[in-house]
Homo-oligomer: A and B are copies of this chain.
């Protein structure tokens, strides 16, 4: 996961992995069966990390606007920490494979879909609890919030400037306050 976040899932070579693990190349190869299976296994492992670092902390917060906010905060912390040396694993690898059809892209697309649906569901909860007013669709609002978080990830890496995470946080807070029935809840 660390290698792939920096060098990409194609840059993750079986031989390179073997020498880092002090195993033979064919020994590592036998564990996966093909490079594509290694890539898919890496994606599965990264989903587990993402669940533990981002989704689970947000689920610990009570449903409502606070959980939406907790989810965004957890994502920003995950991007800024950084959990992976190349920033968000899914950002790096999705940009690599988004125009290359195959099982790797399909796995990344499915992971992204699950994430987006979870984000939307936290917004739906907040709406049903009466904490969000206005007619903006949950899909639209989540797209906007997640867009700000992702933008901070690249900008921070490309310019070596972590302050952009604060910029994303500001944008997300402003956006949520604009739709909140009680804006002071996010102050």
Chain A residues with a Cβ under 8 A of chain B: 5-8, 10-11, 85-87, 91-92, 94-96, 98-100, 105, 108-109, 112-113, 139-140, 143-144, 146-148, 150-152, 154-155, 157-159, 164, 167-168, 170-171, 178
Contact = CB atoms under 8 A, between A and B. Distances in A.
A100 B7 contact: yes
A151 to B, nearest CB: 3
Contact of A158 (B11, B86, B94, B143): B94
B87 A98 contact: yes
Contacts of A151: 143, 146-147, 150-151
Contacts of A85: 99
Contacts of A150: 147, 150-151, 154
A13 to B, nearest CB: 12
A62 to B, nearest CB: 28
Contact of A91 (B6, B95, B148, B178): B95
